[in-house]
Structure 1
Amino acid sequence: MARALWSGAIAFGLVNIPVKLYGATESKDLSFTTLHASCMTALRRPYVCPKDNVPVDSKEMVKGYEYAKGQYVILTDKDFDAVPLEASKALEVQGFVESADISSILRERNYYLGPEEISLKPFELFRQALMRTGKVAIARAVLWKKEQLVSISPLNGGLVLTTLMYQDELKAPPEPPATQPVVISEAEIDLALQLIKTLTMEFDLSRFHDRYRDALMQLIQAKVEGKE
């Protein structure tokens, strides 16, 4: 049984649907430990002050926001606690939009939403309503002490919650080189369209693997077997 990361409720109007949040993905990147070559002991990297060139104990650390080059304002735990943040356990639906209206560049992380035992019917009703209308719910939620903008959409018989970026978190696209306007001929367009048509396929995610990670795991396994 998967462990829930968060529990709360989908709330809109007078509707309240108790739900739990589950991880939808996990990184398979390989992690390595830096060892002392002579004794194979894992090394710990302390925080070091580059000015004094000495290790700094956690009791001597503070959090600072750089508001100008080399200029910091210090924030304490009391400062963070004083910031007003409504500790709601609800996914507060603000409205419903077309899925196509949410640019892929806004999407951050995905999670599964699952119903509580008491909310099986309203959960399924909500899912089917989204399916029939083709809409996606936009909601506000406080997750891990941070207010998140999220979307809720139907997928594979369930619901997926996707955290979204805010408008001020988006960067402008790069400016094209200041050269003469690019002119594309119809023949070039036709050739590109033909190439796309030739390579059009059904998207089967199982066909794709991290080949570098697979090769690295083979190398690691060979070293382990050679050691035993």
Structure 2
Amino acid sequence: MHTIWKGSISFGLVNIPIKLHAATEDKDIKLRNLHKECHSPIKYEKVCPVCDVEVKTEEIVKAYEYTKGKFVVLDEEDLEKLKKENEDKAVEIIDFVMMEQIDPIYYDRTYYMSPGDGGGKAYSLLRKALEESEKVGLAKIIIRSKEQLAVLRVYENTLVMETIHYPDEVRKAGDVPNVPAEDKVTKKEIDTAILLIDQLTTDFEPDKYTDEYRTALLELIESKRTGKEIVTPVEKAPATNVTDLMAALQASIDKTKPKKPAAKKKRVSSKAKKEA
């Protein structure tokens, strides 16, 4: 399993070298955009709308738009310094809480944690302590230049870290429009709904749930591929090797020159034929 981050988690005086591994994978089917005319993939270029030129990566700077059309430019050196200052304090477990106190709306991404070199015993200690206390650890960690709030818990004998949103990143439910303030339903309607819920209640078995749309899309793609319903980009016309300006002009003239009409045969009169 690919390691995406190396570091350590600490709580109190205990330090645990760990590695992070992505616990989930995106299996969405990526579809490319092609030009309908020639089936060539569409290019997306970074173009400055004022200079009307394509901008190279080294010509791009980061900035914060504090009001419409006004920016504060941030230097890479400043961002790197800020990142380094926070990395040193980004792995400490700051609190232990009951997991049920964290609403699922806060959860973001999940990572498996494996012990680094020499960290096996401390890893086992934290895992056992979390299991017996029935609590989860709250920590701060920097991943991909962003400080994340994270939950550390045990899943199938493995420590798992789940990044969670900060409170100010979760929008207020009260701002959702058109939500009824009161329940305007009858007792009979509630009882019927609960009966339906009871009938559909079962144990959670994740293996029985599949992405039916993705499966159908893959089947469609495969049927078109095996049925030879495939397209290929139109080849670009090869560039000529003519570099001399006059030669290029002459080649262009020759290419566009209209063809001469065929010469007409001279008619021979019947009198001339007799004399011959």
1:125-140 mapped onto 2 (5 Å cutoff): 125-140=125-140
Partners of 1:89 and 1:177 in 2: CA distance? 44
* 1:210 counterpart residue number: 211
Aligned to 1:111: 111
**1:22-72 alpha-carbon deviations (Å, 9 max, x no partner):** 110010011123345566543321123345554333344332222112222
- After TM superposition, the score normalised by the length of structure 1 is 0.88
Contact 1:9 1:89 in 2 (8 A): no
Q: 1:170 Cα shift?
A: 1.2
Q: Is the 8 A contact 2:90 2:147 kept in 1?
A: no
Q: Distance in 2 between matches of 1:34 and 1:74?
A: 34
1:141–1:147 contact (8 Å) kept in structure 2: yes
Change (3 A) 1:189 1:8: same
Relative to structure 1, the CA distance from residue 81 to residue 116 in structure 2 (aligned partners, 3 Å threshold; closer, same or farther) is closer
After TM superposition, the structure 1 = structure 2 runs for residues 1-228 of structure 1, keeping only pairs within 5 Å, are 2-36=1-35, 40-51=39-50, 53-83=52-82, 85-88=85-88, 91-173=91-173, 174-175=175-176, 177=178, 181-227=182-228
Structure with greater Cα Rg: 2
**Structure 1 residue 7, shift from structure 2 partner:** 1.5
Count of aligned residue pairs for this structure pair? 227
Percent of aligned positions that are identical:
37
How far apart in 1 are the matches of 2:180 and 2:118?
63
Moved more, 115-124 or 18-27: 115-124
Partners of 2:227 and 2:218 in 1: how far apart? 14
Q: TM-score, normalised by structure 2?
A: 0.74
AA aligned opposite 2:22? G
Q: Is the 8 A contact 2:92 2:139 kept in 1?
A: yes
For 1:91-113, what per-residue CA distance to the aligned partner results, in whole angstroms no more than 9, with x for missing partners? 20101000011110111000001
Question: Does the CA contact (< 8 Å) of 1:48 and 1:55 recur in 2?
Answer: yes
SS for the counterpart of 1:189 is helix
Letter of the 1:225 counterpart? T
Encode CA deviations 1:168-206: one digit per residue, 9 max, x unaligned: 111111345387843333333222211111110111111
Label 1:183 to 1:35 Cα distance change in 2 as closer, same or farther (>3 A): closer
Residues 88 and 141, structure 1, Cα contact 8 Å, conserved in 2: no
Structure 1 pair 177–3 and aligned structure 2 pair: CA distance change class (3 A): closer
Mapped partners of 1:216, 1:143: distance in 2: 34
CA RMSD of aligned residues (A): 2.4
Specify every segment of 5 or more residues in structure 2 that has no aligned partner in the other structure, as ranges: 231-276
Corresponding residue SS for 1:91: coil
Task: Report the secondary structure of 2:151's partner residue.
Answer: strand
Stretch of structure 1 that moved more, 48-57 or 124-133: 48-57
Which is richer in strand?
1
Structure 1 segments unaligned to the other structure (5+ residues): none
Distance in 2 (alpha carbons) for counterparts of 1:69 and 1:221: 48
* Range moving further from structure 2, 157-166 or 74-83: 74-83
Cα separation, partners in 2 of 1:63 and 1:119, compared to 1, 3 Å:
closer
CA gap of 1:188–1:161, structure 2 versus 1, over 3 A, is same
Compare 95-104 and 190-199 and name the one that shifted more. 190-199
